[in-house]
Amino acid sequence: MTGESEYRIRVKGLRKRFKRLEVLRGVDLGVERGEVVVVMGPSGSGKTTLLRCINFLEEPDEGQVTVCGIDVPCGPGARRREQMRRIREIRMRVGMVFQQFNLFPHMTALENVIEGPLSVRRMSRSDAIALGERLLTRVGLSDKRDEYPSRLSGGQKQRVAIARALAMEPEVVLFDEPTSALDPELHEEVLQTMRALARDGMTMIVVTHEVRFAQDVADRVLFMDDGAIVEQASAAEFFARPQHPRARAFLRLVEHNQPSDPFAQPEVPAPS
């Protein structure tokens, strides 16, 4: 397990196609322990698919994905059973936060959080509850522990989802557009939670359009276009001097559409 152990995630030559459409055309990526990587790019550029290949919600067609030193043998001759075992091992170490939260609607906030510890980590119920309460407190929702998801706001749901991912005590957390389904005024509570997580040294890959968040916490920004990483730079570098024409065009667009920034003064009074 040494050698490439500084990489929590190592992706080499990753290719994925859906039917005739090639979504990832040879992606290489290394993410080190404690690094926060923000992935940006227009929709359809393959950001989400890249994320989903890392925990094998999508199976790569070609290439190698190594997570926390675990790789999944593929190609002919690979035994399905062994593959599944490795995939599960990876998933136990990689948390995922979805755009649509995907909370379990028939379980309370606490039950959502402790499902992994109970079902997968085989924790005792009392330990799991203690852990779950600690995590709900960490995301600021200790008073919602017995609420069902239908009674929570979008921002609260997403924070429960973050707590659920953390309950597996993962080494990496993947965020797939975690604020895109939220009303603008709810973005900040989720981003704050993510900032705190980054400060605590969590390794994170975040697919997002939140420029300010990227500027604040990203160690590195990847820009994807048409199934490939076309630009890769430190956050400061990327936002100050984007190189790729598509990245420039994209940033102009996104910056104009940033959700209500409480500090920004409108340059022009909005017409109508």
Partner 1 sequence: MDLISRALPLLIRGLGITVALGVVSFAIGSVLGFLIALARLSGARPVRFAAVTYVSVFRGTPLLVQILLIYFGLPQIGIRLEPIPSAILALSLHAGAYLSENFRSGFLAVDKGQWEAAFSIGMAYRRVLQRIILPQAIRVVLPPVGSRFISLMKDTSLASVVTVVELTRVAEQVGSATFRYMEMFVIVALIYWVVNTILQIGQEVLERRLGRAY
Binding footprint of partner 1 on the chain (CB under 8 A): 55, 57, 88-89, 91-92, 94-96, 98, 100, 102-107, 115-116, 119-120, 148-150, 161, 164-165, 167-168
In angstroms, give the least distance from the CB of 256 to partner 1.
30
Question: Which CB atom, from 104 or from 185, has the smaller least distance to partner 1?
Answer: 104
| DSSP helix/strand/coil, 112 | helix
Residue 131, by phi and psi: left (phi above 0), alpha (psi -120 to 50) or beta? alpha
- Work out how close the CB of 28 gets to partner 1 at its nearest, in angstroms, rounded to a whole number: 24
**What residues pair up with 231 in beta bridges, in sequence order?**
223
Least separation in angstroms between CB 90 and partner 1? 8
Residue with tokens 């040494």: 2
CB of 242 to partner 1, least distance (A): 32
Q: Which tokens belong to 157?
A: 């749901």
Residues in Cβ contact with 204 at an 8 Å cutoff, skipping those fewer than 6 apart = 35, 36, 37, 172, 173, 174, 175, 194, 197, 198
Which pair of structure tokens corresponds to residue 21? 């459409």
**To the nearest whole angstrom, how small is the minimum distance from the Cβ of residue 196 to partner 1?**
21
Of 78 and 240, the one with the shorter C-beta distance to partner 1 is 78
Q: Taking each helix axis as running N to C, give the angle between helix 154-166 and helix 125-138, from 0 to 180 degrees, rounded to the nearest 10.
A: 130
Nearer to partner 1, 87 or 233 (CB): 87
Nearer to partner 1, 60 or 242 (CB): 60
Of 103 and 233, CB closest to partner 1? 103
Least separation, in Å, of the C-beta of 184 and partner 1? Answer: 23
Sequence-distant (6+) residues with CB within 8 A of 263 are: none
- H/E segment holding residue 221: strand 220-225
56 vs 213, which CB is nearer to partner 1? 56
